[in-house]
Amino acid sequence: MTDEKNTELIRRMYGEGYNPESLDRLGEWFAEDLVVHIAGAPEPVRGLAAYRRVRAAFFVAFPDVHNHIEEMVVDGDRVAVRERYSGTHAGEFRGVPATGRGFEMASIDIYRVADGKIAEVWSMPDMLGLLRQIGAVPAPNAAG
């Protein structure tokens, strides 16, 4: 695929695919044998069905999540995206009951595209920042 087609695939996935209603459509953008490496996770998420479950859990916790692409760099089959997510903690997330708190989280994701679909992802979200904002992890003592 050309750089332009890979860019369009990623833009479409962000524009149409990052909401709770898109879970049934993930196959439009992601390969069945998808592998997702999430920073800090002990194992990669393997397969579209497993990734669908991960996304569904995130949407339960943050049903109004919005994303904004701040920068995109494409080089052949790789597309790097610097993005920002925001939303409200309205459901359980990693054992933390809903707090009603808002959050804003930066992330950098690198996508590998093969045969017109996303085949592999390396995701580096600011999970510590998110957990601090919802009160799951205390902020460090500034005087400290």
Give residue 42's identity as a one-letter amino acid code.
Answer: P
* pLDDT class of 20 with cuts at 50, 70, 90: confident
Q: Dihedral, CA atoms, 96, 102, 108, 111, nearest 10 degrees?
A: 80
* pLDDT class of 79 with cuts at 50, 70, 90: very high
* pLDDT class of 85 with cuts at 50, 70, 90: very high
All residues at 6 or more sequence positions from 114 whose CB lies less than 8 Å from its CB, including other chains: 31, 77
Residue with more model confidence, 88 or 2: 88
Chain segment 39-71, per-residue pLDDT in tens: 999 999 999 999 999 999 999 999 999 999 999
For 8, phi then psi, to 5°, come to -65, -40
Fold of 3-133: Nuclear Transport Factor 2; Chain: A, (3.10.450)
Look at 28-32, 53-57, 109-113, 135-139 and tell me which has the smallest mean pLDDT: 135-139
SS3 4: helix
Domain ranges, ordered by start, for the chain: 3-133
